[in-house]
Amino acid sequence: MSASPLTVGIVGATGAVGKEIRGCLEKREFPVGTLRIFGSERSAGKEVETKFGKVTVELFEEDKARECDVVFLAVDGDFALKHAENICAGDDGAVVIDNSSAFRYKEGIPLVVPEINAETTKGKKLIANPNCTTAIGLMAVWPLHKLFGLKKMVMSTYQAASGAGQPGMDELVEGTRAVLAGERDVAENKIFAHPLPFNVIPHIDKFQENGYTKEEMKVTWETRKICGLDDDFPVSCTAVRIPTSRAHSESIVALFDKPVDVAAARKALEEAPGVKLVDDPENLKYPMPLTATGQYDVEVGRLRKNIAFDNALEFFVCGDQLLRGAALNAVVVAEAMIENGALAAKV
């Protein structure tokens, strides 16, 4: 994209999401003039090879981060709560795009899927990136909402080990290896509530008083905020961890105000940015983690009228959790902010 070169900072660049942010910046030709990578005492001083040259990891300091034009936070919520607002404070602060849950529900801070609500970033310095599950699902739901008017939504998710970061993926791989090698009958588990290899776990994040988990409620809360829906808009989710390495899948039943038309829905999805319609059952083509992994677009398929409810569509979605559900979304947010003037090089 054409824009003045920016000084770009990444905090947490050596983690799973941080690595993908760097990759997206490189592949999408984001206007990086200088890339600065911030880390802990353990990683400070290490050199990282990038498309923008060799970068030495700097020990994180708020004042150093404030020198950047934009800072991507790929760290936990506690770190973000402590530092994000200080990094972006004042006219001389940096734009901060935070991948944690720290600010998603805070009044006045945009929660953004840029294909849906990029305009909310205008005049803002701190932007929240949504939960991966929400971002992937809404890429498919939003075009249909614009066409038919969403009334209710029920989602079931099948979430990869990557949702727990690199440690989660490592636990799945090592546990699978140990069982197949005959070293153990059941894999060990430290990251997940139960062993994940050869199992599914209907439990992601903490259980809430209403019986849902926090991961499930994130879909409800974030769908309402991103799409500009009422605070009591009905969205229900069941989130399940499955033994795949990467890319989340979702089965969605969406009920609408207007009568639905499958052909019109297909056309809307085909034309939607960031969406790839993969819906040819006769030739065994439908969304799968295997084909969605590493892809920028969210795959949507198995599109059909739901036979249990009036004016309802049912479909299946797959998207790379580390890309569309995290790193890519953050970088596309920054691109949208360049276009609308909310992000520019400091004078």
Please give the share of the chain, as a percent, with pLDDT higher than 90: 93
Q: Check residue 165 and give its pLDDT.
A: 84
Q: Which residue has the higher pLDDT, 15 or 287?
A: 287
**Which pLDDT band, with edges at 50, 70 and 90, does 2 fall under?**
low
Q: Residue 9: beta bridge partners?
A: 36, 71
State the catalytic residue, choosing from 132, 227, 237, 318: 132
Q: What is the pLDDT of residues 9-37, one digit of tens each?
A: 999 988 889 999 999 999 998 999 999 99
Q: Check residue 43 and give its pLDDT.
A: 87
* Res 1 pLDDT > 70: no
Q: What is the pLDDT of residues 62-94, one digit of tens each?
A: 999 999 999 999 999 999 999 999 999 999 999
d(CA 236, CA 94): 36
How many H-runs (helices) and E-runs (strands) does the chain carry? 10, 14
d(CA 31, CA 57): 20
Angle between helices 132-148 and 262-271 (to 10 degrees): 130
Please give the share of the chain, as a percent, with pLDDT higher than 70: 99
What's the average model confidence in pLDDT over 100-116? Answer: 96
d(CA 333, CA 118): 7
CA quadruple 188, 194, 200, 205: dihedral, nearest 10: -130
d(CA 32, CA 9): 10
Q: Check residue 16 and give its pLDDT.
A: 83
Q: Check residue 183 and give its pLDDT.
A: 98
Phi, psi of 21 (to 5 degrees): -60, -45
Burial 271-292, CB ≥16 within 10 A → b, else e: ebebbbbbbeeeeeebbbbeeb
* Res 208 pLDDT > 80: yes
Q: Check residue 306 and give its pLDDT.
A: 98
Q: Check residue 206 and give its pLDDT.
A: 96
Q: Quick one: 97 exposed, middle or buried, by C-beta within 10 A (0-12, 13-18, 19+)?
A: buried
Q: Check residue 15 and give its pLDDT.
A: 83
State the catalytic residue, choosing from 68, 227, 248, 318: 248
d(CA 73, CA 98): 5
d(CA 183, CA 251): 35
- Active site includes 132? yes
Cα 54 → chain centroid: 28
Q: Are 68 and 84 in contact (CB under 8 A)?
A: no
- Active site includes 248? yes
Q: Which residue has the higher pLDDT, 195 or 43?
A: 195
Q: What is the pLDDT of residues 166-192, one digit of tens each?
A: 899 999 999 999 999 999 999 999 999
* Res 288 pLDDT > 70: yes
Averaged pLDDT of the chain: 96
Q: Are 252 and 317 in contact (CB under 8 A)?
A: yes
Q: What is the pLDDT of residues 120-153, one digit of tens each?
A: 999 999 999 999 999 999 999 999 999 999 999 9
Residue with tokens 């949504």: 130
